[in-house]
Every structure is written in C-alpha cells, then in structure tokens.
Structure 1
Amino acid sequence: MHWLQIVRLSVLGFAIFCGIVVASLSAHLIAYVEENFGGYYAFAALGVATGGLTMLSLPVILIIDLLRKGAFTSLVVVELSWLGILWVLWLATAALTVDSTSAVFTTCDFIYPILNQLCHETQAIEAFSFLAWIALLAYTILLLIVALVNASRGAPMWKSTVAASGGIAPSPAATAGAGQQVQQQQQQQPLMTTPMTPPPAGQQPMQQYQPQPIYGGQPHTGAYPQQQQQQQPAPTPLSGVSHTQNGSVSGYSSYPQV
C-alpha cells in the first residue's frame, strides 16, 4: 500500500465519520423543531441529505474496491467527479448553517436547557461540515495533481484505480539517467582476479614452463629472437691438389675454367 492509498483511506474514512455525525444531529434537530414549532430548518435538511449521501456512497466505493479490482466506481475519473460533488455539498451545508444560525445562536447561554442543546448541535453541524469540506477538497486537489503529473510523464491514470497507479510515476529523464548510471558502473567495475599465494619460506617459486621458439633448426633460449645472425665470411676459392705421375704437385682452382 503506497502513500496515496493511505491518504485516500484516511480522508474517506474521516468523511464517512463526519457524514454520520452531521446526518444524525440534523435529523434530531428537524424532529424536535417540527414537533414543537411545526417546521424545520433548511440547513438541517441539507445536512441530512449531504451526510446521508456521504455515509452511504463512500463505504460502497471502498467495499467494491476491496472486493473487485478495477471496478467502475474506483476509477480515478469517477472518483474525482463524485468527490467534487460531495465537497460542494459540504461547503453549501456549512455556509447555510452559518447563515441561518448566526443571528439566533450567537452564544449558547439560554435559560432553557433544550435551547442550549440545540445551539450546541447546530455548532457541531457547522464544524463537521467545514471539516468534511476541507478534507475532501484537499484530497480531490491532490488526486488531480497526481493524475495530471502522471499524464504529462506518459503514464495516465484516469481510467485506472488509485491502488493500481502506484502514486507519482517517475519522469522519463530520471529513468534514463538511472539506467545510464547503472551501465557506467557495470563498465567501470574491475575484473575480479585470484590473488597469487606466496610460496612457503625456504622454497623457490616454480616457474611456469614456456615453449621456446625455434630459429634455424635450433631452439632459442633468449627472451627475444636474434635480429640477425652473425654474418659468415665469404668463402675463399679453395685450391685443389693433384699428384702427377712424376710425383709433382700441381694445383688447380675450384672455380670452373672458362
């Protein structure tokens, strides 16, 4: 349950309580005045109507919302419309009560106790009417602001319930910024390497065998291959020796003769 649901339940519950109080006091005032004076006050009749509508309609909305998700009576557009009608009725009840009793019940200091009782009941009707009006008006404005903000952020909630909306939707810029930040953190995270354990004391570390490259048929043991082998001296013409029949030695060249 998010914060908007808590505010909704609190306001509607308080409005139901105000409706019960105002409807009960107004009904008693009408019954007494009609029995003793043969008439009734208009503000008392309006108090019965407003309090009766409130204490009958709001519990139905809450119960249907609890039993069935996404009901028609729980839609935001329907709730805004009905609560707007109710707070207008509560404002009219409070204003009419003040206008009708301001000249009669200025102070509740009468000789007859019944008049003092009627005066206190009238003041209670006036007070609870104003309280219900303020509570419903504040919640209606709050719900309207949340709906407009969500609509501007691409998540309209007019045809959804308060429970399904989840409060104020995050802005697209904030969502994109959070995604980029998470991606950057993942890219900047260093790779986890296994630390090398040092060898025990007195033991030489073992070197890993690496195959050596072979150059010219012989393996090369250095870190880098030799850039250039040492230049061999140019071969010199070799002289051949032959023996003649008379035992003399004659030389011949290894180069072919032209």
Structure 2
Amino acid sequence: MRFAKPFLAGAAALAAALPASAHVGFVLPDSFAYKSCSGFGAIATFSDYFPSPEIVLSAEFRLVGPQGQAIPLDEVTADHAMTRLEASLDMPGTYRITSDERLGRKGKVALVEGRYERLGGEDMGLARLPAGAQILTSQTATVSEAYLNCGGANTAADTSPAGQLAVTPGQDADSIGQSRTFRVTFGGAPLAAREAFLIPAYAFLAGAHDGAPLIVSPGGEIRLEDLAPGVYALLVRHIAPAPEGAETDVRSYSTAVTFAVGELHP
C-alpha cells in the first residue's frame, strides 16, 4: 500500500507537481491547542491563498464540545473576506468546528469515458473535449472544519459525517509527532478519492496554491508523514451524481480539514 509523503525537495519540485489552483473553503481557529478553556475564535473563508482570507464563507456553523454537546456561538460576524466566529468554552477537551455541508455555485462538468472531469483551464476546456463527451450541470457541496483542544486535554472527538464526503482524523495513537492519518468516506463507505491535496500555510508564496497531491489508499486512508511544524489544510474532492430532486445532474463535493503540527498556542 502506498501512502503520501507530501513534502518534496524544494519549492520548484512542489510547484511542478501541482494541478490548477482552486478555491478552498476553510475554517481556521485562533489556536488548535488553547492553554486555558475560556474563549474560542476562528475565521471561515474561501481563498486561493491559504490561510489568507479572500471571500467570505457563510454557513450554519456548529461548535461541538468534548461530550458531544452543542456549544452556542456568541458571535458570527461576516465582512467581504471572511466570517469571524467566537464562543465560550466550558470544559477541557477536544472540540470540533464545522460548516456542515453547504451548497454553492453551479457550473458544468464533462463525463469523458465514464469519468467526471472538471471543466476550465487549458487542459479540459470546452474546445478540447474529446468526441462523445457529455456535458452535465453541477453544483458545489462543501464542508470546512477543524478540531482543537483546550486545557491540555485530548478527548474523543465528534467525527460524525458533516456531509456526503467526510474526511475524519485518526485517533491520537495514529496521529502523533509529525504524522497524521485521515479516513475518507462517501455516503459512509470508504472512498479512494483521486483528488486529495495537502496545502501548507503560505504555500502560495512558492507558487504552490493547491499544495502536494496525495494518494488515498483503496480503504480510504491518507497517512501523512514527516510533516514540518505548521498549519495545513487537507482538501479532498469528489464528483458524484446529485441526489434525487436536486437542481443539477451532479454535485462537486469538497471537504477541507484544517490542522496543525507542533505546539501552537495563541
């Protein structure tokens, strides 16, 4: 089984491996490890320049506590570039902030020899479609979330799917030091997604908007090794037929989990 080792030697090598850049919807907490359990803050935004805010991300955000309890958000304030979230934390442990699945813009994709292909850019523009390709209508369905803890305590986290495409962090025993594991599922079943990317913070400064492409195992597992300390967004995409009654033929699912490596405190 082949797992991802995302860091390549040098910015030029990383940039050379990239697909076309794309907007990422992400939630970024003020800290992933609060020393005390008092206040929580985060931003939510879409951007080509992780973690710089670019376009406001609006959603029915949920903050889930260490015992699965819903934590009310005290402030949800949006401007042109981002939504600011604030809440009071009530006990030590692990929390989850999620946008849940939100429907977004509509567009088109191509069905080419049984595979969905995103339209746009030079590689798959309308003028370059092969004979027999079918054009389908599409709508985005995005999930953006992060996990954090306070009081120096890690507890069992809420990992219930927030949408059809779920990216779930592994247990602490599988995600220690400079390694992280994640499991990708679609509709509850493991998915060997063919579009998965690890985006380090400020990778765009080296021309690497989408970060390093990853390989997802047949069982839907992503293992990241030898990660440098810092903040990352793990982005997974998948195109599938839309549910019955939907306004488009297919949905373009996108789930991003923001996480940190190293001791990062506010």
TM range (shorter): under 0.3
Structure number with larger C-alpha Rg = 1
Q: Please report the TM-score for the alignment, with normalisation by the length of structure 2.
A: 0.19
Q: Please report the TM-score for the alignment, with normalisation by the length of structure 1.
A: 0.19
